Structure formats: structure tokens, C-alpha cells
A and B are shown apart, each in its own frame.
Chain A
Amino acid sequence: MGWLKGFFFVTISVLAMGCASVKPYERQFINDPEMKMGTDPSRGFQQYVQSIREGATPAGSAKASGGCGCN
């Protein structure tokens, strides 16, 4: 349980941090395709496999549809 409390403490701390305003002309780094938060279809498939072979379903993970995953 200790690590879970630690995890939530870190999360809340990060959320509480101040955020600087980023001007449109300063966005060349955060607009880079490699900086995107979403997943490509290859990583989506990997996350789908992980959600089956592991007991947990990660938040926001890609799941194309239902499916048994029972093999």
C-alpha cells in the first residue's frame, strides 16, 4: 500500500505545480509528432495485449473493441 500512497502523492504534487504559458511561436518542440500524447496503432495493439496478459486495464489505453482475449 505504501507505493500506492506514494504514487498518489507524486500525482497530486505534479498537478499542483504551476504551468507556464507557452506562446504560439514557442511551440516548435511541443508540436513535434513524437511529443504527442496519443498512441499509434502499433502501440495500441501492444497495450491491448498487455491488458489481456496482465490483470490490470491501464487508464486511457487503446482498446479497439471488445474481444475475448481468452486464448
Chain B
Amino acid sequence: MRKVYLIFGSLLFWQWMARAQSPDSVVIPVPRTTIDLVYNNYFQDGNHSAVTGGIGTEKLTVYSPAFNVRHTAGRSDLSVNLGVDIITSASTDRIDFLRSSASWRDQRGHADIGYSHRITERGLSANAGAGFSLESDYLSFNGKLGVQHDDKEKAQQWTAQFIMYFDDLRWGRLSKRFQRPVKLIYPSELRYQEWYSDYLRRSFNLRLGWNRALDRRTVLGVNSEITYQYGLLATPFHRVYFTDGGLRPENLPYQRWKGSLAVKLNRFVGGMVILRNSITGYMDDFGIMAIALENETAIKLRHDLSLTPGARWYAQTASPYFAPYAQHDAAQEFYTSDYDLSAIQTITASLGLRYAPYRQVGRRSHFNSILIRYAYMYRTDGLQAHTIGFVMQMDVEKNR
């Protein structure tokens, strides 16, 4: 009988000991710096340039190197992203028909800094960030505030983020002659008057996200975003030709509401295939409704090598403000011949290769992964685009 008490008592004691471990205990990670070297190359060509009123070349090349650093120490996480885009655009060359170069070169520099801090042991974090983007006809500042909550078992995550963009569309900052914002740039033949009452664009975005592990092989994510923009939403150097032969710069309403909802489902099938599926719905008060379906399948060829083919289909309705070249009525209040706002479908096919050995190089550094991705996009108005991406990730860990 005593033996039974002893065994029963021991079981109770060990069960109590197991519960006595604090459920809120947190593993403090070793300070670590993660570095991403990123290079993207984008080419497109089409025949519906908005700069020339919905006709003409849309040939564009963007070379886009970037550098991301994220440092994690204790409860805090600091990230810095820097990047440059070198843009060669045949259509932008046509803002001024007198320009004789075959294509026009522009640059865009952008930088963002972010900080997040875990406030409580129960998984609540707060984050904040700021950044800017500068190109010859555009200066944008942004600010972000957000919160995130991870549950104890890390099976569920809530996020909320508020992002503001303040944009100035005046040209002149990257011109050696001016180095300061001077004026809005209209097509060369329309510079005899000011067409807009504002040169600023403000955007306010609210993002809400929820991720949850449904079972040991499936993760579900839901993201929603509401955006309110006001100010100059038209692009000053987009031409619009009218049925009566008239010509004016594009004109769009001074405010816009956008709403979007995306559902993602990632599922590990068998031992080597991961299906990443998503469906996204979108609508705005410019009259555009859109839906996108996407699948990306990661096939693990080895534990450190994955092949990632992907496909995406997207369809949108046209904005009533859109009409092709020389089909606008002169009595219309708002008008554009930008095919980005027309009834289009896009089909994208992509292929990625990721090698992730997490190999030690040096005493404290790890080579995490290298990723190469190619994507081809076809838009039903004839525009075609190619993107080649390259990302290399390294980790530097501080000794304990």
C-alpha cells in the first residue's frame, strides 16, 4: 500500500514541479546582427505610356541595390534599410519633346529606420519607424507606429500598424541647377499655366494582421489595410488627349479611399513540399475592384536547398476616369489615360532558388542563405516585365 502512495505522490510532485515552471519565462536571445545584401533588376516594355496620353513606349529599366541591417539585443530590435534605384525611362523622356536623349535617367534614394521593443513578458511589442524616399520629382517622408502580440505558445500573432506618408511632387531637388523644390513639371507644351491647386500628397494607412497555426502543418494569415489619401493624386506630366483635339494634364480627385483584405494559407505537405497560397480582394472609390490569386510552392530538394516556382493571377475593373488615347470627352471633370487604372489582368510566373546552409564563416559570423528569383509578368494590354532578384543574408552573433 505504501508503494502505491509513494508512486502516486511522486507523480503528483513531478506534475506540480512541471507546472511550477513559469509559463512566462522568456529566452533572451544572444545579441545578433542580420545583414541582407539585395539587388533587384526590373525591365518592362509596353505601348501605352501615360506620359504620351496612352500611346507610345513604356520601356523602363530599374537597377535597385539595397542594404538591410537588423540588430537584435535583449528585448529590442533595430533595423536600417538603405537603397538606391537607378531608373532609365524612355517614356519620361517624352515629358519634354525637345529632349534629344534616347532615354532619360533618374535616381531614387530611400532609407528607413525601425525600432521594436518587447514591452511585457506576455508577448506584447511596440514598434516605430521613419523613412524617406527622394527622386527628382518626388520627396516622400514616412512615419510608422505599431503594436504586435504573440501568444505564449507562439501559435498566434496579432499586429496593428499605422503608417503616414507625406509626399511633395515638385521637381528640382536632384537638379544641379536648383537643388531645391521648384515647381510641378507639366508636359512641355502645357507649361503656360498652373493646373493644380496642391503639390502635396498625404497618405494614412491602417494595417491589421492576424496569423495562427491551425495545426502542426498549416498556418493561416489574414491582413487588412485601409488607406486614405488626399492632395495631388494625379501625375502632373501625364498627358490626356480629348475627342475635340484638346490636351490637358491628367486630373484625378483630390482624395481616395482604398480597402484591401488578404488571406494567406501556408501548408507543409509531406516532407518536402510547402504550399503558400493567398487570395486578395481590393476596392477603392476611384471605381477599381480587384482580386488576386497566388500560389508559391517551395520544393525542398535538400534540407538546405529549395526550388520555388510560383504563379499569380490578378484582375481589376477600370476606373471610370480612364479612357484610352483621344477618347475622353472634354466635359469630363476627371480624366486619365494611365493604363494602370484600366480594366486589366496580369499573369505572373516566377521561379526562385534558395540555398540556406546556415554555415559558420569566421568566429562569430554565419552565412544564412542566398536567394535568386526571376519573375515574368504579362499584362493584358501588352505590357511585359521581367524582374531578377538576388538576396544574400549573413548573421553576426555576439559571444555570450
CA separation between A59 and B274, bound complex, in Å?
22
Q: Shortest Cβ distance from A25 into chain B, in angstroms?
A: 10
Sample 19 A-B pairs with CB under 8 A, ordered by A number: A21-B153, A27-B216, A30-B216, A37-B264, A41-B391, A42-B371, A50-B314, A50-B346, A55-B284, A55-B340, A56-B314, A57-B227, A58-B225, A64-B131, A65-B131, A66-B140, A66-B142, A68-B137, A71-B106
Stretch at the interface among B7-15, B34-42, B323-331: B34-42
> Which of B279, B282, B391 is the one whose CB lies under 8 Å from A57?
B282
Is residue B268 within 8 Å, beta carbon to beta carbon, of the partner chain?
yes
B337 at the interface (CB under 8 A from A): no
Q: A37 near B292 (CB under 8 angstroms)? A: no
In the complex, how many residues of chain B place their beta carbon closer than 8 angstroms to a beta carbon of chain A? 110
Choose from A27, A35, A59, A67 the contact partner of B108 (Cβ within 8 Å). Answer: A67
A42 with B391: in contact, given A32-B274, A65-B112, A67-B138 (CB under 8 Å)? Answer: yes
Closest to B221 in A: A37
Taking A4-B283, A11-B263, A57-B260 as contacts, is the C-beta distance between A41 and B38 under 8 angstroms?
A: yes
Task: State the CA gap A19–B213 with chains docked (Å).
Answer: 7
Any chain A CB within 8 A of the CB of B209?
Answer: yes
Q: Which residues of B contact A (CB under 8 A)?
A: 36, 38, 40, 42, 44, 50, 60, 64, 66, 68, 81, 83, 85, 87, 89, 91-92, 106, 108, 110-112, 131-133, 135, 137-138, 140-142, 153-155, 165, 167, 169, 203, 207, 209, 211-225, 227, 235, 237-238, 258, 260-266, 268, 274, 276, 279-284, 286, 288-292, 298, 300, 306, 308, 314, 316, 319, 340-341, 344, 346, 348, 350, 352, 354, 356, 369, 371, 373, 375, 377, 379, 383, 385, 387, 389-391
Instruction: State in angstroms the CA–CA spacing of A71 and B387 once bound together.
Output: 16
A residues with a Cβ closer than 8 A to B are 3-4, 7-8, 10-11, 14-15, 17, 19-24, 26-27, 29-30, 32-35, 37, 40-43, 45-46, 49-50, 52-60, 64-68, 70-71
Contacts A55-B284, A67-B108 given; 19 further ones with Cβ under 8 A?
Answer: A11-B222, A19-B214, A27-B154, A30-B217, A35-B274, A41-B40, A42-B38, A46-B375, A50-B314, A55-B286, A55-B288, A58-B282, A59-B261, A59-B282, A60-B207, A66-B133, A66-B138, A66-B165, A70-B92
